[in-house]
Structure 1
Amino acid sequence: MSTATPAGKTTATPTDDRKRAKAKKSMAIKVAIIAIVTLAIYFLPVPEGVDPRGMHMTAIFVGTILGLILQPLPTASVALIGLAVAMITGTMNVKDEALQGFSSSSIWLIVAAFFIADGFLITGLGRRIALIFVRMLGKSSLGLSYGMAITDLILAPATPSNTARAGGVVYPIIKSLATVNDSHPESDESRKRLGSYLSLTSVQVNTITSAMFVTAMAGNPIAVGFASDAGVEISWGTWAIAALVPGLVALVTMPWVMSKVYAPTVKKTPEAPSQAAQQLHEMGKMSSKEIIMLVTFLLLLVLWISGSALGVDATAAAFVGIAILLCTKVLTWKDMAANSGAWSTLIFFSVLVGMATHLNDLGVIGWIGDTAAAAVGGFSWPLALLILGLVYFYVHYFFASNTAQIVAMYAVFLGTAIAAGAPAILAALVLGFIGNLIGGLTHYASGPAGVIYGSGYVTTSEWFRVGFIASVVNIIIWGVVGTAWWMVLGYV
């Protein structure tokens, strides 16, 4: 609160001063923690087989990741500070090492897909798709959740920002449906009518759709890049086919499971289809820009799926899609320039991938992998992969971003699994899928989780309880059904 002066100016109240002081103290504590951890690692002895700069790079990398977790500054700012420290200390030279991440085709695929996703939002095609499925399946709360799940699945291949998909397309529809059914976050009785169930289910569904396509979550192409560094090549089609059966089974199962463990009090929603039909009527026929967006999206799917056979790189295909949208004015440069998320992602990922690549070049990743492999060396590779997978899944309680965990841990865990004897392609895919399924574990686990938690429909205690149950369901489905499918594909 602040008070107005006679001159029309505002003066801070004691409450404002206390808040600012508390914020400064919190910032100071976070910075101190990051600095202490970074310096402690920086001066550790260099292990045998690791480049002398190895521990310095490890310290800066860990400090940067810790900064991403504690968030004393925005993500891109933290990454740039880490890069500056690496350059000024000589840990990364400017010419060959510091900026190498900015040339990664995987990162540019993510950036390109951000712009393609803009097309769904700007043209209204994403909203139209959601309303169509509400009209078809929306007579019950369970039907509504399946409608949202199908919408998410359709949009997923071209939406690397799972936050944009969940928050920009799906959640506004959920909010509207909840409001119409008198379900508001202000009271337990009201929010549990419908809003809580649809909201939390949408997050769990989002983790599954994100796991089904390389381009459905920003961290997936990074995982593919790390796998390639380890000698494992994963195409867009390889990932999608491997995820197809367990993903579809999980999508069918999860809304039903959520209806049992987190049941809404409103089971029937007979008005929803007519409301969706009315909104579709108000939208009118598909505009020319929507049609262009749809055709471009279908073309991209064809190129991504058959790219290896046609000799078309996934990133090249994405830029062809952008070119079409620009030429037809579905997108403008102004739209692209205004997408701060895409440009922040470019900076954030490029810096971290460059650091992670440098760690590998310096021998740090190999040393950590060998050390970890020794810890599970006495186990058979299936048991070793199971242990590594469970640790990789539940360590996410300590992370506030799927991508931060992928950058920090994917390469190490993959190297450890391969060293333990696991088939390389299987280990790379399993860890890749897990990197998405962890997104609903807590209310801070991912961007979509933050959107839904901020809505007020789900309490913290509910989230931890239901999030854990959902994680067990996903582990069982992807572990059992997935293993059977991967045996058919010859990966096991």
Structure 2
Amino acid sequence: MGAAVRKLAQPQNPSKIKSKKEKSSKEVNFVTLLITFAVGVIIWFIGAPAGLDPKAWHLFAIFVATIVGLIIKPMPMGGVAILSITAVVLTGTLELQDALSGFQNTTIWLIVIAFFISRGFIKTGLGNRVAYMFVKKFGKKTLGLSYSLLISDLILAPAMPSNTARGGGIIFPIIRSLSETFGSRVEDGTERKIGSFLTKVAFQGNMITSAMFLTAMAANPLAATLAGDAGVKITWTGWAIAALVPGIVSLIVVPYFIYKVYPPEIKETPAAAEIATKKLQEMGTLSKSEWSMIAVFLLILGLWIFGESIGINATTTALIGLSVLLLASVLTWNDIKKEEGAWDTLVWFAALVMMASFLNTLGMIPWFSDMMSGAVSGLSWIWALGALALIYFYSHYFFASSTAHVSAMYAAFLAVAMAAGAPPMLTALILGFFGNLFGCITHYGSGPAPVFFGSGYVSQNKWWSIGFAISLIHIIIWAVIGGIWWKILGLW
């Protein structure tokens, strides 16, 4: 007792106190923050080009600084967004109500509510159950096992806008468990047995499923909003139908390609089906909350497809689904409050949409479009669109975030392609699809990439070389097969 009292009475170690303080301030890197600020200041004082509203140029300076901040990350994305909104108001570039207008955007709320709904898949265990069901059915061979994981991802994709949560939170843990069961570990040099193959396939498949639905990745609704500002209305159904055929072809071809160029040592996996069977037995029969989750999933999927015809838009559909989950106690308000990714998305999404919208309103995007149209003048729209799409795709090597890339380049490239005569809807969708597919090339260019690459199952050299080869496959599939499909749909 006396010893305990003496221990409590002892003053805390000053170094430990300092350590705690340092830890709490690590969220902000003032060196990179200064770089971000400097970029904005330099552009600001260069001065607006002739014929452009100075306010448009000032907003552009803040916008570029924001994109730089999203790339070099001096602080979390939400923090960068708050600083940007504050800068817009304090500099008099926009009025306060205009600076906060992004929070009224219905597309932003669609993606935020979809985050909440996706929490239900994880909380109820339905996401894992779906994955294990497909592993049980198709997992007797390694190639079949990889396809079963991609089918699981595909089924979950429409209602899970966080591809990081989908890939990293549901699919990757299953891959890790299966790999270790088959004795495939990074620590002892046995990663090539099966772990490397499954890791690479699951990641690449995640990029494809993210491109197939408007609600499968957080930046997709941003692209749709930017397209809307340019007069192109992309619906949930329109996006899904356009992506259906090239998306399925990519899901079939890419795993087989990886199987050939980066083959697993273990080709037969009968134990995988047994593992999945055991896991399903442990989970038991479908719980009441899982049945509720299935019902809500079917409800929102149906309304996303057919709701527009009866006057129910996509965001209202998401609200209906969330309300049912709350009423059925599948989700609680505490679950909603704890969904940090959704609230974080609301803040940075609102800031980016606000700035992108006013860059168009103030004339920055039309001015840039007129200036750049000269660069592709004389080219047919097909060649112009092809060149712009390739630049858009491979410039992703310079981005550590799909959202940052879409925010920085989507609206401008869409405007230039349309000025060259490219069909508006076709152009908007191609750039939207590429806004996911370009994540295939690096280990840092999308949210799920660090999760899968960080496991150590695939070396950086292999990740980049295979990723580049897959990028060529994507471009061929989506340009040729996609082009034929889009011709049938009347998009060009």
**Which bin holds the TM-score, normalised by the shorter protein?**
over 0.9
Provide the C-alpha distance between the structure 1 equivalents of 2:450 and 2:70, rounded to a whole number of angstroms: 15
Distance change in 2, residues 1:149/1:365 (3 Å): same
Deviation at 1:50, TM superposition (A): 2.0
Deviation at 1:247, TM superposition (A): 0.5
Give the SS at the match of 1:472.
helix
Corresponding residue number in structure 1 for 2:86: 84
Q: Which TM-score applies when normalising by structure 2? A: 0.94
Corresponding residue number in structure 2 for 1:27: 29
Corresponding residue number in structure 2 for 1:298: 298
Deviation at 1:259, TM superposition (A): 0.9
**Correspondence 1:257 to 2:257:** yes
Provide the C-alpha distance between the structure 2 equivalents of 1:284 and 1:444, rounded to a whole number of angstroms: 38
Corresponding residue number in structure 1 for 2:52: 50
Provide the C-alpha distance between the structure 2 equivalents of 1:205 and 1:9, rounded to a whole number of angstroms: 51
Distance change in 2, residues 1:91/1:461 (3 Å): same
Deviation at 1:256, TM superposition (A): 0.5
Give the SS at the match of 1:306.
helix
Provide the C-alpha distance between the structure 2 equivalents of 1:51 and 1:459, rounded to a whole number of angstroms: 49
Give the SS at the match of 1:117.
helix
> Are the aligned partners of 2:225 and 2:353 in contact in 1 as well (CA < 8 Å)?
no
Provide the C-alpha distance between the structure 1 equivalents of 2:491 and 2:178, rounded to a whole number of angstroms: 43
Deviation at 1:461, TM superposition (A): 1.7
Provide the C-alpha distance between the structure 2 equivalents of 1:423 and 1:274, rounded to a whole number of angstroms: 51
**Deviation sequence 1:264-313 (CA, Å, 0-9, x none):** 11111111101100110110000011011001101111100112222210
> Are the aligned partners of 1:360 and 1:366 in contact in 2 as well (CA < 8 Å)?
yes
Give the SS at the match of 2:454.
helix
Corresponding residue number in structure 2 for 1:181: 182
Give the SS at the match of 2:265.
coil
**Correspondence 1:215 to 2:215:** yes
Provide the C-alpha distance between the structure 1 equivalents of 2:46 and 2:102, rounded to a whole number of angstroms: 26
Deviation at 1:7, TM superposition (A): 6.0
> Are the aligned partners of 1:43 and 1:55 in contact in 2 as well (CA < 8 Å)?
no
> Are the aligned partners of 1:181 and 1:194 in contact in 2 as well (CA < 8 Å)?
yes
**Deviation sequence 1:307-342 (CA, Å, 0-9, x none):** 222221000000000000000000000000000000
* Gaps in structure 2 of 5+ consecutive residues: 1-8
What pairs up with 1:409-420 in 2 under 5 angstroms? 409-420=409-420
Corresponding residue number in structure 2 for 1:274: 274
Q: Which TM-score applies when normalising by structure 1? A: 0.94
How many residues align structurally? 481
Corresponding residue number in structure 1 for 2:68: 66
Corresponding residue number in structure 2 for 1:328: 328
Corresponding residue number in structure 1 for 2:404: 404
Deviation at 1:175, TM superposition (A): 0.7
Letter of the 2:62 partner, please give it.
I
Q: Percent identity?
A: 50
**Deviation sequence 1:218-273 (CA, Å, 0-9, x none):** 11111111111111111111111100100011111111111112221111111110
> Are the aligned partners of 2:214 and 2:220 in contact in 1 as well (CA < 8 Å)?
yes
Deviation at 1:33, TM superposition (A): 2.3
Corresponding residue number in structure 1 for 2:234: 234
Deviation at 1:486, TM superposition (A): 0.4
> Are the aligned partners of 1:142 and 1:255 in contact in 2 as well (CA < 8 Å)?
yes
> Are the aligned partners of 2:381 and 2:421 in contact in 1 as well (CA < 8 Å)?
yes
* Gaps in structure 1 of 5+ consecutive residues: 1-5
Give the SS at the match of 2:304.
helix
**Correspondence 1:137 to 2:138:** yes
Corresponding residue number in structure 2 for 1:3: none
Provide the C-alpha distance between the structure 1 equivalents of 2:443 and 2:260, rounded to a whole number of angstroms: 20
Provide the C-alpha distance between the structure 1 equivalents of 2:41 and 2:459, rounded to a whole number of angstroms: 38
Distance change in 2, residues 1:480/1:8 (3 Å): farther
Provide the aligned C-alpha RMSD in A: 2.0
Corresponding residue number in structure 1 for 2:477: 477
> Are the aligned partners of 1:156 and 1:216 in contact in 2 as well (CA < 8 Å)?
yes
Deviation at 1:137, TM superposition (A): 0.8
Distance change in 2, residues 1:171/1:10 (3 Å): farther
> Are the aligned partners of 2:135 and 2:273 in contact in 1 as well (CA < 8 Å)?
yes
Deviation at 1:186, TM superposition (A): 1.8
Give the SS at the match of 1:214.
coil
Provide the C-alpha distance between the structure 1 equivalents of 2:192 and 2:76, rounded to a whole number of angstroms: 34
Deviation at 1:36, TM superposition (A): 2.4
Provide the C-alpha distance between the structure 1 equivalents of 2:67 and 2:54, rounded to a whole number of angstroms: 21
Deviation at 1:31, TM superposition (A): 2.6
Letter of the 1:491 partner, please give it.
L
